[in-house]
C-alpha cells in the first residue's frame, strides 16, 4: 500500500495534509466505453477519468477507446472529449487536455455487429504493443440494459473477455449500470446469460451512490469510532428515515421510467444499498467479500410482506400539476412520452423492519420521489427519548430526541443534533446542531462518485460494487410488492396523487404519523 501524494505533498484527492489516503495505484489499463457518444460518457465518465488524470492517480500508460454507433474518427471523438472536460473544469490548460487526448481513440459500429468487435479487437491489439507488458482491459457498458447481454456475447465471441484460469493473463473486467433487471425473473435471466461468458469476479455492477463520500463514510463513522457503534441498536435508536428526493421530473427518460417506475428505479438499488450499510453487522475486515457478505445477510433479514399487508406499509404516488420555485410544473401524465392513462408511480414511501437481534422493533421509514420540494438524499437516525427528566417541569417528551443526519447530496456531510442550554433562563434548552460538510472542512467539492468507482475497478477492488446475490435478494424483496400492485396499478393500494413541489402525498405522512412520528423536513 502506498500513500498517494500530489505535487504539493498532500494526500492525493484529499486536500488535507494530515490525511493519509491509502490507495493501490492502478497498473496499466485500457478502458473501452460502449455508448461513448451518450450523455453518461460526456457528463460523468470523461470528466471523472480526467480528474483522476490531473490528480496523478492514473498510471503513465493508459488508453481510452470509445465505441458507439455514431460515425466518428479519433479526432472527432477527441474534440467531444475536450468539450466535455471544459464544460466541467473551466480553467484547465489546453496543453493538459491535449496530453490527455493523446490516449483517446474511437471505434464505431453496431453493438450486434461482429465486424465492429473485430475492428475493436484489432485496435486493442495495436494499443497493446505500446505497453511493456499487456495491460488489463475494462469494458464500461454505458448503454441501455436491454443490450448488455448482446455486447457481452459479442465481446466473448471476439475473445475479448477471456482470462486464463492460472491468473497469468491480464484482467478483463466489465462494468454495467443499473437497472439490473426488471424483476426477479428477468434479473436471474440476465445473470445466467452473463455467466455464460464471464466469471463473477469480472463483473462490476455499479451504483454511483456507493461512490459518494458520505455513503462510504457510513462504514467509517460506525466502525472507526467507538462513540456510535455501542449505541447502534434497538436499545438506543428509536427509528431511521432514509430520503432520496429529486426536484426534477423524468426529463428525457419517459420510455424507460414509465415502464420501470420509482420502486425499480430507486428502491431496488440506492435505497436498499444505503439501508444495508446503515444496518449491517460489522464485517470481519474492510475487504470486498467481508463487506458484501454482511450486506447480503442484512438483506435476508428485512421483513417480507404478504400481499394483504402491502397497502398498509407501501404508499405509491404520482405527481400532478404544481408550483416549484415559482414555476408551474406539469403533471406526470403531461410529460412528453408518457401515456395519459399511466399509473406508474413517481413516489414511494415504505415502512419496514429488520428481523434480527440488533434491530428488532426499530422501524425503518423509506421515501423517494420525483418532483419533490427540493433535491436531497439523507439518512436520519433518531435516538430514543431520555428515560427520565431531572429538569422539572420538563418531561422527557418535552425534549427533542437526538438525531444523527448523514447528508448524501447535494451537500455531503453529516450533522448531530443534541440538547444544550441556550443563553438566558435557567431551563432555556434547545437543539444544538453540530454540522460537518466536506466542502467547509476540505475547502473543495467532494470528488465525483464515478472517480472513486472507476479507480476501484482499475485496482480490482469490488467492495463498492454490487454482488450477484444481493441483486437476487433485492428483487426477491420487491417483486412481491410489484406483483401486489399489479401490472396496471390496479392491485393492492391506490395510486395517490401529490402536487409537484410538495413532499409527497398525504398518505405518506399518515404512514409515519400513525406511529406518532414525523418525516423530517430536510
For 347-377, how does the pLDDT look when each residue is reduced to its tens digit (9 = 90+)?
999 999 999 999 999 999 999 999 999 999 9
Instruction: Kindly list the domain boundaries of the chain, sorted by start residue.
Output: 2-177, 210-386+467-513
Is a pLDDT exceeding 50 seen at residue 427? Answer: yes
Band the pLDDT of 488: cuts 50, 70, 90.
low
Burial label for 96, CB within 10 Å (0-12, 13-18, 19+), is middle
**Residue 314 CA to its chain's centroid (Å):** 22
Percent of the chain with pLDDT over 70: 92
Band the pLDDT of 426: cuts 50, 70, 90.
low
Is residue 289 within 8 A of residue 373, CB to CB? The reply is no
What is the per-residue pLDDT across 407-421, written as a single tens digit (0 to 9) for each?
888 888 888 888 887
- How far is residue 141 from each of residues 35, 40, 193, 205, 247, measured CA to CA in Å? 7, 10, 15, 10, 28
> What pLDDT, on a 0 to 100 scale, did the predictor assign at position 501?
96
> What pLDDT, on a 0 to 100 scale, did the predictor assign at position 24?
62
Determine the average pLDDT of the residues in 130-153.
Answer: 91
- Lowest mean pLDDT of 200-214, 309-323, 350-364, 468-482, name the range: 200-214
CB atoms within 10 A of CB 349: 26
Is a pLDDT exceeding 90 seen at residue 445? Answer: no
Is a pLDDT exceeding 90 seen at residue 386? Answer: no
> What pLDDT, on a 0 to 100 scale, did the predictor assign at position 139?
97
Closest CA to 371 of 242, 498, 489: 498
413: left (phi over 0), alpha (psi -120 to 50) or beta: left
pTM of the model: 0.89
Return d(Cα 481, Cα 476) in angstroms, integer: 9
> What pLDDT, on a 0 to 100 scale, did the predictor assign at position 2?
32
> What pLDDT, on a 0 to 100 scale, did the predictor assign at position 17?
47
Determine the average pLDDT of the residues in 1-19.
Answer: 40
> What pLDDT, on a 0 to 100 scale, did the predictor assign at position 167?
61
Determine the average pLDDT of the residues in 311-338.
Answer: 94
Percent of the chain with pLDDT over 90: 66
Residue 322 β-bridge partners: 329
Helix, strand or coil for residue 186? helix
Fold of 2-177: Rossmann fold (3.40.50)
**Residue 403 CA to its chain's centroid (Å):** 24
Is a pLDDT exceeding 80 seen at residue 438? Answer: no
Determine the average pLDDT of the residues in 338-349.
Answer: 95
Is a pLDDT exceeding 50 seen at residue 12? Answer: no
Hey, what's the cell of 115? 465486424
Q: What is the CB-side half-sphere exposure of residue 157 using CA atoms within 13 A?
A: 14
Is a pLDDT exceeding 70 seen at residue 158? Answer: yes
> What pLDDT, on a 0 to 100 scale, did the predictor assign at position 403?
94
> What pLDDT, on a 0 to 100 scale, did the predictor assign at position 384?
95
Band the pLDDT of 21: cuts 50, 70, 90.
low
> What pLDDT, on a 0 to 100 scale, did the predictor assign at position 11?
39
> What pLDDT, on a 0 to 100 scale, did the predictor assign at position 251?
86
Element (H, E) at 289: helix 288-301
Is a pLDDT exceeding 70 seen at residue 268? Answer: yes
> What pLDDT, on a 0 to 100 scale, did the predictor assign at position 96?
94
Band the pLDDT of 5: cuts 50, 70, 90.
very low
Residues tagged active-site: 270
What is the per-residue pLDDT across 217-234, written as a single tens digit (0 to 9) for each?
888 889 988 999 999 999
Is a pLDDT exceeding 90 seen at residue 294? Answer: yes
Return d(Cα 398, Cα 298) in angstroms, integer: 35
Is a pLDDT exceeding 60 seen at residue 138? Answer: yes
CB atoms within 10 A of CB 313: 17
What is the per-residue pLDDT across 70-107, written as a single tens digit (0 to 9) for each?
999 999 999 999 999 999 988 889 999 999 999 999 99
The conformation of residue 185, written as its DSSP 8-state character, comes to: H
- Lowest mean pLDDT of 299-303, 422-426, 455-459, name the range: 422-426
Mean pLDDT across the chain? 89
Question: What architecture does CATH give domain 210-386+467-513?
Answer: 2-Layer Sandwich (3.30)
Closest CA to 218 of 296, 178, 276: 276
> What pLDDT, on a 0 to 100 scale, did the predictor assign at position 396?
83
> What pLDDT, on a 0 to 100 scale, did the predictor assign at position 413?
83
Hey, what's the cell of 423? 443563553
> What pLDDT, on a 0 to 100 scale, did the predictor assign at position 444?
67
Angle at 287 between CA 285 and CA 290, to 5 degrees: 65
Amino acid at each position: 500500500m502506498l500513500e498517494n501524494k500530489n505535487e504539493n505533498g498532500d494526500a492525493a484527492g484529499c486536500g488535507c495534509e494530515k490525511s493519509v489516503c491509502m490507495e493501490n495505484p492502478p497498473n496499466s489499463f485500457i478502458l473501452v466505453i460502449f455508448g461513448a457518444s451518450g450523455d453518461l460518457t460526456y457528463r460523468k465518465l470523461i470528466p471523472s477519468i480526467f480528474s483522476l488524470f490531473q490528480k496523478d492517480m492514473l498510471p503513465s500508460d493508459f488508453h481510452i477507446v470509445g465505441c458507439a454507433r455514431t460515425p466518428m474518427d479519433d479526432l472527432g471523438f477527441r474534440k467531444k472529449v475536450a468539450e466535455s472536460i471544459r464544460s466541467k473544469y473551466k480553467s484547465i490548460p489546453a496543453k493538459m487536455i491535449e496530453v490527455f487526448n493523446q490516449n483517446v481513440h474511437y471505434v464505431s459500429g453496431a453493438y450486434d455487429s461482429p465486424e465492429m468487435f473485430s475492428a475493436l479487437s484489432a485496435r486493442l491489439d495495436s494499443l497493446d504493443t505500446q505497453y511493456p507488458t499487456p495491460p488489463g482491459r475494462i469494458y464500461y457498458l454505458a448503454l441501455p440494459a436491454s443490450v448488455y447481454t448482446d455486447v457481452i456475447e459479442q465481446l466473448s465471441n471476439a475473445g475479448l473477455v477471456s482470462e486464463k484460469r492460472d491468473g497469468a493473463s491480464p484482467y478483463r473486467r466489465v462494468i454495467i449500470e443499473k437497472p439490473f433487471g426488471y424483476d426477479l425473473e428477468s434479473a436471474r435471466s440476465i445473470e445466467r446469460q452473463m455467466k455464460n461468458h464471464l466469471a463473477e469476479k469480472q463483473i462490476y455492477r455499479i451504483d454511483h451512490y456507493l461512490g459518494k463520500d458520505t455513503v462510504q463514510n457510513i462504514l467509517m463513522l460506525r466502525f472507526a469510532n467507538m462513540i456510535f457503534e455501542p449505541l447502534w441498536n434497538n436499545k438506543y435508536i428509536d427509528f431511521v428515515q432514509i430520503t432520496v428526493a429529486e426536484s426534477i421530473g423524468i426529463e428525457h427518460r419517459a420510455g424507460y421510467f414509465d415502464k420501470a417506475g420509482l420502486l425499480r428505479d430507486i428502491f431496488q438499488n440506492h435505497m436498499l444499498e444505503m439501508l444495508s450499510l446503515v444496518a449491517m453487522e460489522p464485517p470481519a475486515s474492510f475487504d470486498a467479500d467481508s463487506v458484501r457478505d454482511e450486506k447480503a445477510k442484512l438483506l435476508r433479514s428485512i421483513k417480507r410482506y404478504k400481499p394483504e399487508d402491502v397497502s398498509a406499509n407501501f404508499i405509491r404516488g404520482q405527481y400532478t400539476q404544481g408550483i416549484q420555485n415559482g414555476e408551474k410544473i406539469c403533471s406526470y401524465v403531461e410529460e412528453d412520452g408518457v401515456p395519459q392513462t399511466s399509473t406508474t408511480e413517481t413516489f414511494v414511501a415504505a415502512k419496514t423492519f429488520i428481523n434480527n437481534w440488533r434491530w428488532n422493533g426499530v422501524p425503518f421509514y423509506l421515501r423517494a420521489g420525483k418532483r419533490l420540494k427540493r433535491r436531497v438524499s439523507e439518512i436520519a437516525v433518531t435516538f430514543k427519548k431520555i428515560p427520565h427528566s431531572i429538569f422539572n417541569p420538563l418531561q422527557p417528551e418535552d425534549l427533542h430526541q437526538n438525531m444523527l443526519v448523514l447528508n448524501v447530496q447535494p451537500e455531503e456531510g453529516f450533522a448531530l443534533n443534541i440538547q444544550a442550554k441556550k443563553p438566558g433562563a435557567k431551563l432555556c434548552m434547545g437543539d444544538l446542531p453540530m454540522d460537518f460538510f466536506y466542502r467547509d472542512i476540505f475547502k473543495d467539492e467532494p470528488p465525483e462518485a464515478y472517480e472513486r468507482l472507476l479507480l476501484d475497478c482499475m485496482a480490482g477492488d469490488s467492495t463498492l460494487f454490487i454482488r450477484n446475490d444481493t441483486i437476487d435478494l433485492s428483487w426477491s424483496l420487491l417483486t412481491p410488492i410489484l406483483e401486489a400492485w399489479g401490472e396496471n396499478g390496479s392491485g393492492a393500494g391506490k395510486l395517490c396523487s401529490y402536487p409537484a413541489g410538495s413532499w409527497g402525498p398525504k398518505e405518506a405522512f399518515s404512514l409515519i404519523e400513525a406511529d406518532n412520528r414525523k418525516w423530517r423536513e430536510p
